[in-house]
Amino acid sequence: MAEPWGQGSLRARVDRELERFVEAEIEALVAVDAALAPLGDALSSVTAHGKRLRSSFCYWGWRAAGQPDSDAMVRAAASMELVHAAAVVHDDIIDRSRLRHGLPTAHVALREVFPDGPRRSARARALAMLAGDLLMAWAGQLFATCGLPAAYLARARGLWGIMARELIAGEALEILHTAAEPDVARSLKVIRYKTAKYTVEHPLLIGAALAGAERDLREVFSAYGLPLGEAFQLRDDLMGLFGEPATTGKANTDDITGARPTALIALARQAATPAERGELSGALGRAELTAGQLEQVRAVVERTGARRRVEAMITERVALATGALRGAGLSGDARLAMTHLAAAAAVRRC
C-alpha cells in the first residue's frame, strides 16, 4: 500500500532517476574499455538498493519551503543517494565489511575480477575505492544537471562543501578512535558528523536552500535533523549487534570485530563489572566471533542496561525532532511527511 504522504511514490521516482543516470554513465565508462564492465556492475549494484531517506529529506526540505512538486527537484534529491553510495563503498572498505543489503560489498564482489593471488584483495579494494570516488563525482554531476535554474543551484553550492567536509571528518574521527577506550561523548560526536548530518540535516538544508527558504525554517530543519540523524545511527548500532543478517542484510559482528567506537559499547563498558569489561575487551577487535562469543557480548550489553539506554536515547531524539516541527508553520503535507520520515529513520526493528 502506498503511504498517504507519498513516500512510496517518491522512492519509485528517485529509483527511476538513479537508474537512468547510472545506466548512461556506466555505458559511457565501459565505452572507454570493455574491461571496465565489472566496475560498472559494482556501481550498478551499490546504487540499486536503499531506503532513499536522504533523497526524501532533500525533497521535503524543498516542499516544506513552499515549492511545488518538480521532476527536476526529484533529480536533485536523487543526488543525495549517490553521496550515500559513495560513503557506503568507502566505509565498507575501511571496515572490511563483507555484506551490504544481503549482497557482497563492492570490494568483495570485485575480487572476482582478479585471479587468485596475494594482491587479489588489495587490487579489489583499490578498484572499489575508485568506484566510491566516481560515485561522489556523479552526485555532483547529477545535482548540477538536474534541470533547476542555475540561480537556485547556486544557493546550495556552499552546503555541498560543508556536507563533504563533515562527512569525511566523521569518518576520520571513527578511524582515529577505533580500538581506543570507549567514550560515550566521543562516540556521539562521531555519530553526528559521520552519519547524522549527511543523512538528515544536510539533505533538508540543501532542499531548503534550493527553495530559497528563510533562516527561521533552516533553523527548524537543523533542530529536527540533528537529533533525528543521531537517532538513525543509534538504531543502526542496535541493529548492528542485535539484528540478524537475514533481516538487516549486514553481518552482525562487524562493529565488534572492527572495535568500532559505538555509543552502545561505550555505555556497556561504562556500566560493566570488571569481569564484564574483560568479556567485552576479549571480543572487541577479534578477527572472527563465534556464535557463542556474539551471544556473550549481547548478554553483557543487555545486563548493563546499555541496550535500554540507547533505546531511550533514540526516543528522546525522535521527540526532539518531531517537537521542532510544532509551531514551524509547515503545510499539513510537509509536517505529515516529516513526521513519517522520522519514524522511518528511527523506528526500524532488528
Confidence of residue 350 (pLDDT cuts 50, 70, 90): very low
Give the helix/strand (H/E) hosting 89. helix 71-95
Question: What does the pLDDT look like over 82-120, one tens digit per residue?
Answer: 999 999 999 999 988 888 888 999 999 999 999 887 789
Phi, psi of 137 (to 5 degrees): -65, -40
Strand, coil or helix: 96 = coil
Q: Which residue has the cell 529513520?
A: 345
Rg (CA), the chain: 20
Convert 226-291 into a string of H (helix), E (strand) and C (coil). Answer: HHHHHHHHHHHHHHHHHCCHHHHCCCCCHHHHCCCCCHHHHHHHHHCCHHHHHHHHHHCCCCCCCH
Taking a C-beta distance cutoff of 8 angstroms, is the pair 181, 150 a contact?
A: no
Phi-psi region of 288 (alpha: psi -120 to 50; beta: other; left: phi over 0): beta
Q: What local confidence, expressed as pLDDT, does residue 7 receive?
A: 59
CA atoms of 160 and 115, how far apart (whole Å) = 39
CA atoms of 153 and 187, how far apart (whole Å) = 34
CA atoms of 23 and 79, how far apart (whole Å) = 15
Phi, psi of 213 (to 5 degrees): -65, 150
Entry pTM? 0.93
Question: What does the pLDDT look like over 291-314, one tens digit per residue?
Answer: 899 999 999 999 999 999 999 999
Q: What local confidence, expressed as pLDDT, does residue 4 receive?
A: 38
Q: What local confidence, expressed as pLDDT, does residue 259 receive?
A: 81
Question: What does the pLDDT look like over 24-59, one tens digit per residue?
Answer: 999 999 999 999 999 999 999 999 988 899 999 999
Question: What does the pLDDT look like over 158-194, one tens digit per residue?
Answer: 999 999 999 999 999 999 988 788 889 999 999 999 9
Confidence of residue 1 (pLDDT cuts 50, 70, 90): very low
Taking a C-beta distance cutoff of 8 angstroms, is the pair 316, 210 a contact?
A: no
CB atoms within 10 A of CB 151: 8
The DSSP call for residue 117 is S
Fill in the amino acid letter for 41.
D
Question: What does the pLDDT look like over 195-208, one tens digit per residue?
Answer: 999 999 999 999 99
Phi, psi of 262 (to 5 degrees): -80, 150
CA atoms of 27 and 136, how far apart (whole Å) = 18
Sketch out the chain's domains with CATH numbers.
7-346 (1.10.600.10)
Count CA atoms closer than 13 A to 209's CA, side-chain side: 19
